[in-house]
Chain A
Amino acid sequence: MTETERHDYDVVVIGAGGSGLRAAIAAHESGARTAIVCKSLLGKAHTVMAEGGIAAAMANVWSEDNWQVHFRDTMRGGKMLNNWRMAQLHAQEAPERVWELEEWGALFDRTDEGKISQRDFGGHRYARLAHVGDRTGLEMIRTLQQRAVDLGIDVFMECTITRLLLDGGRISGAFGYWRETGSLVTFHAPAVILATGGIGKSFQVTSNSWEYTGDGHAMALWAGASLINMEFVQFHPTGMVWPPSVKGILITESVRGEGGVLRNSEGKRFMFDYIPEFFKAETADNEAEADAWYADHINNRRPPELLPRDEVARAINSEIKAGRGSPHGGVFLDIASRRTPEDIKRRLPSMYHQFKELGDVDITKEPMEVAPTCHYVMGGVEVDADTQSSVVDGLYAVGEVSGGMHGSNRLGGNSLGDLLVFGKRAGEHAAEYVAHLPARPAVKESDVDAAADEALAPFTNPGGENPYTVMHDLQEHMQSLVGIIRRGDELERALTEIERLKARAKDVSVRGTGRGYNPGWHTALDLRAMLTVSECIARAALERTESRGGHTRDDYPSTDPQWGTVNLVVTEKRGNVQLDRKPLPVMPDDLKTLFEESR
């Protein structure tokens, strides 16, 4: 029997970003004994980096806004592949969740009337994003963190979960290790909420941190849950490109929301050349109308710079490929010539700071150089829309690790709303599930032993490869073969490479002086999840022979209505990844009418 620390809870939440914290608060308030477990320190999860804002139809700026419009924008942004019920719940409940943050101490920017101010973002018909300058995520995570601490919820920080534990198909707990000491820890809990965020670390150019190794995605799959929409990875149009050390770091969409425009090396606002048929009716086709829109949304159509992210990212990619790029291989994002230095510094303070400190660029004087960067995964654990429950009893998923809500492409600001709305739902339903369980599932000691062996294997592998090298090679392959523009033959090659990397990852070994805070070991363990998730993405991307949202196939460039009714579902059977096609849930007629009248 493996000696590990033991802890007993009703609900264990893995992840302390916005979704995990909100879920833990809800579970605690529903009476469940709750723990939060996270890989980094409390308050450092990815949510802290979110800049732009939280999308919620509060109608503080445009009284015309309401949940129906937000719902429609979300579905259209996701090219109608979203789970309609999730999109509906999100649009309906987001305002109340934002107001709740304010009740817990958040200080959002205000309108003249003293209400929460809202800003424009791509794909949203009205100014809809509640924000605090360009550090909205910080405000959100701090507010939730302070709330969770105030409630006295137990927190295990710098503690990594590596396996979910099952008892006859039901969740019975989770297994992991403390980063600080390398000692092992077992949680006994009938409900686990995955809130582990995304997968972007599998790509070379990314806005995501070391945490985004897809642990939650992979652990869910290994535990028997299904993943959907894994082919859809969002490449954010505007990442930094220079200097090389900052390549991929995000430049918030708020720059465009606040009036910034994209230009190529000829100084041309090229986005007017890339307005797709699907969005023609609602997009300005000339600069005068586009510029007038900022002050008058009713009589003007929106600038093409604010098309959904997939469209803008592809357009930038094409301009660069056509040789009209900037000196360092991007295009220009210009706010300097459009707003006063005072306005820029007030509305975009952290962007100003970021470029000044890291790029020697004064964005009030010069344009920025930008290019797409891997940013968000739309795909995730397949969940029930109302409860966030996966197909495995006792396993819930919420936030970026869950799938369905955003369809094939997420609109900016919809993630933060998603975290709050479904975090609350997941926490409440997990607590309810535990309260109604006839008997607590038991942790099998043989599973703990197996998990311990697996976790410690890198220490006993005889002189294998450096885990960092394997990770680096994976990132390179994913970037070049499964990136923003994909082709069948390249995806097949990616799958072959992933198989090779899997073999190499099996016997990486850890160098160094022991288990306490040993990043080489952490990386060795992260590789398993990264490889699993990368395979799911490549498989699904190969299968979907069309282009839609965050999935662009060079060999199948158009959107195929047949594919518009199908989700790809990934499961694992005896260690092999399996793909199935599943019909999309059908939207009720009253919601369908929302799309007819506004066309």
Chain B
Amino acid sequence: MNLSITLTVNGRERMLALPDPRVTLLDLLRDRLDLTGTKKGCDRGHCGACTILVDGRRTNSCLALAISHDGADILTIEGVAHGDTLDPVQAAFIAHDGFQCGYCTPGQIMSAIGLIREGQAGTDPERVREGMSGNLCRCGAYAGITEAVLEAQRALDAAEQEQAA
């Protein structure tokens, strides 16, 4: 069985030989590529700690077999900042205390980036809560998380308006 795949991870192409078809994208990222920002919470699709973007879509990497994703474009938390400049979502999470222990945070931020890119964040907190419902936070930092997503959306809208002006 040929278990080789090619992935683009955070803009860089990677050729990978898998030891076994059971390897999930989550385990591949963490154990093979040393990208340990993506977290393993439940490993069952419930908590969202392992959220990454696969071809732009929010995905639970714990339930995605790596072998099934040959050719995919993957964005993880390690790939969202531009050098020392944080992504607006990262900056908003810091500004609004969108975390406590931080374990769920990479998944929350990837999910928020996905939500904003889908054009579904808007200005309604209830809509943001629903849109982020795939990401659980044991520390209960939900109030700050919601604020951070709304703030990031506002910042992006303002930047866009400035560019248009």
- Say whether A and B bind each other: no
Which residues of B are in contact with A by a Cβ distance under 8 Å? none
